[in-house]
Structure 1
Amino acid sequence: MPGNLHVVPEAILVSWPKANFVDPVRRGWMPAFAMTWQAVATILLAARFYLRARRQAGEFGLDDLMIFIGWFFSIGFTTTAWIGTERYDLDRHTWDVHPQLYVGTALNGWTAQLMFILSTVPTKLSVLLFYRRMIKDSLDKRWLYAIYFAISLTAAYGFAVFLTYCNMCHPLSAYWLSYDFSYKGNFVCINGNALTVTSGVFSCLSDTYAVALPCLILRHYRLDVPKRQKLALNLIFAMGFLVTGAGIGRTFYLWKINHTYDTSWAGFSLFVWSVVECHLAIVCACAPSLR
């Protein structure tokens, strides 16, 4: 089927426990978890803009516009995480999810993937544009070209994935309507399983590049910075690698959700890692402005 829900073989169905729609096993902490991360990212973004407005952290630039766009769509992603668990029962095992919710679950999942791309790609571009702002007149042009290469690659990746998600099926609505057992429309869909895992791998690679690049620049030039500032930079780099770690966790569950019939249980874990990656990236992007 087009989305991450699978047609469950009869042999698997008979092995499942009896459906429990009254008091199933649940993981009900997603709303608080997602909102906490959203609040932290919002506070850091507000502090960044406050310092920019007071000229205490440089002037506003294109990197600030990108981080605002990333933050704006992170709200949409947080909303899908909330709705997925509270409205479409993503916090329980698949056998405890009512089939009437399948269409809404698929639509919410498609929306979440779109919101994630629209949030994380501008955030990564913001980080890279910040590097360009910092070194454009001071370092070897080769490092500047490396940054431009990363910007181009990240933008191309984001555009390609966004365009593909918007053309997953023809018609697109079949991506979620096909989970309605009464749906009789004709449709054609691409292999969404391969797309999601591939996009996860590329996301991890771009995360790693965005963190490794300033580390290599500092190491190459052995910049003499105060001990306190060096400690702050190392902390920011460590947080950046945590973003990469969260991306690896997300990619694993992108693979896992395509290799299990208990898709709602795996989907919940996918949302957890995605929430961390999405919002921690914003935190890391704002941290240098708070030095």
Structure 2
Amino acid sequence: MRNHLRTFMLLAALTALFVGAGYAVAGPTGMLIAFVLAAGMNVISYWNADKIVLSMYRAQPADERDPDPVVRAYAADVRELAQRAGMPLPKIYIIDQDQPNAFATGRDPQHAAVAATRGLLHMLDRREIRGVMAHELAHVKNRDTLTMTITATIAGAVSALANFAVFFGGRDQDGRPTGMIGAIVVAVLAPIAAALVQMAISRGREYEADREGAEISGDPQALASALRKIESYARGGVHNPDAERNPATAHMFIINPLAGRGGDNLFSTHPATDNRVSALLAMAGEAARAPLRHSRGGGTAVPVTEERRGGPWGS
């Protein structure tokens, strides 16, 4: 609940930034023109988000009939994890990239897809892959991809207004010019502010997906181990050329696919991996200390956890 409230507040901040920039640039007319253009592009993205992104990465469908046993296990695990999460089975894809990584896309759980790279399937063990895909299913279940689409719409409108300011200068709400200095301030600061809000939203959703993904898989330590390995490979020089060509999609991946280049971390959409790992290990420790109860039907004993406190997830 806290993360949803934070996301709403950040989206409200982006909207306020957008309105203020619109008035500074060209009054209500400039604001309306920029919003219509940005919204039009993003409406197309909303209805076709999964197809657009999957096409960018040349993703191919994967299922349990694939000749590669690793791919078959991957598809079977996604099916089983989706059932455990009580959600529709998303479309399952594989991306022919060496860098281990994964993402989820789609406007809602009924129109969603998850994708993993071949690097992920061949560089991580099965427990770790399950942890990663449970994280992506948590994104789908929480409709995070929709949140990021809305954020991109407003941030895109702010950027459009900033570009407009460069060429036409700013105007106040009565239509009087505010001067080139004001236009430059809007052009420089508005996109930066929009990027900061986007980062805050994405980082908050990553922490939440880590928590819920660990609950779905029942194995926080596996996800923690996977995050460490993925970042190690990305920083160690295993690049994702398609991500480098489409940096706007970086926030979708479980670990920043651009992390192999130091400058990309300046405005990273992902929280620090060490912080994510620490939170997951703390979660695993709480589960280990919790009393056990038997699952329904006399099955395996599972831990009973108290209300969570502390860490990036709050109480």
Q: TM-score, normalised by structure 1?
A: 0.31
| Structure with a larger share of its residues in helix | 1
Structure number with the bigger relative contact order (C-alpha 8 A, sep ≥ 6) is 1
